[in-house]
Amino acid sequence: MTDIIAADIGGTNARFARAKLDAQGVPTLGEIRKYKVADFSSLQACWAAFAAEEGGDLPKAASIAFATAIGRDVIKLTNSNWVIRPDTLDEELGLDQMRLVNDFEAVAHAVTRLPPENLPLLFGEDRPFPADGGVTVIGPGTGLGVAMIAYDDGVPHVIATEGGHLDFAPLDTMEEKILAYLRDKFLRVSVERIVSGPGLNNIYKAMATIGHERILLMEDAELWQAALEDSDPFARAAFDRFCLCYGAVAGDLALAHGPHAVVLAGGLTQRMRDLLPPSGFHSRFIAKGRFESLMKSVPIRLALHDEIGLFGAAAAFREKK
């Protein structure tokens, strides 16, 4: 067994846990400790709070997932004042070994280690991941996370992508009007302006403006609750449109990666679990013209794990050292 610290650092919350990795690199997480990023001046200060609360000697190895692009000399977190300098971070945290990954890259690593019961089938044929070929991992959150798992002779290789920043392509008159509305507000309308947590509010306001509807303005979390509970008819209408767009984008990305399998991940999608099958998600996913029959067969699975970011960060540790 290998002992490490796993960390999942977002713009709002930072989560830490000790993790044990077995010979296959499958993690077992210890007690999870959660902190508000805004309560600390830096990652180092937050790490010190975790170390004090955890007690004892911490492992000298860590795998840390960040909600931002990795690979730069200086990492600036979205929605946070924390600044990370990877070249000196291991020394600052007292580590001998360290792995840094993008947060959705970590989710894809989690998918490679989840047991079958944590990957239930939502749509398509019930078949395993390919021995050779790509698997698309996608999930709306603060933005739209997209990663690819490239299997080579059964061995998974996770590839981080910025697929959430592709241009949004409208597929009907309503979406053309939504796109026109959003073009007045953003320099460029990427798919994550629509398929993301805040994207539901963009759809909601756009549809209200287009239809000259009087609506109750809500924060994102409140709107999602109203939509999922069906307590506000217009919020639910916006959610129905969201599902159409989510399916279309997932299908486009599957085609780009090679349509072998798709995994939907993240907390929002888990909350949508019972609402996706009767929605227009799958009809839009398969509506790819000459490839429609192929797209119908593509397995679409849901990744289930309460702490998939932490689990994935730990799972990523052995991939590179």
Give the pairing of strands 13-21 and 75-76: unpaired
Identify the H or E element spanning 240.
helix 233-257
Q: Is residue 306 marked as binding?
A: no
Give the pairing of strands 13-21 and 33-36: antiparallel
Q: Is residue 203 marked as binding?
A: no
CA distances from 197 to 234, 242, 246, 300 (A): 17, 10, 12, 21
The region that residue 89 occupies, defined by phi over 0 for left and psi between -120 and 50 for alpha, beta otherwise, is alpha
Q: Is residue 11 marked as binding?
A: yes
As a whole number of Å, the CA-based R_g of the chain is 20
Side chain identity at residue 218, one-letter code: M
271: nearest Cα among 298, 299, 306, 233: 306
Q: What is the distance between the alpha carbons of residues 132 and 116, in angstroms, rounded to a whole number?
A: 19
For 207, the token pair is: 């549809």
Q: Is residue 309 marked as binding?
A: no
Q: Is residue 10 marked as binding?
A: yes
Q: Is residue 9 marked as binding?
A: yes
Residue 307's CB is within 10 A of a number of other CB atoms, namely 17
107 burial via Cβ count (<10 Å: 0-12, 13-18, 19+): buried
28 in Cβ contact with 20 (< 8 Å): yes
198 burial via Cβ count (<10 Å: 0-12, 13-18, 19+): middle
CA distances from 164 to 189, 191, 253, 271 (A): 11, 6, 9, 20
Binding residues: 7-12
Binding residues for ATP: 7-12
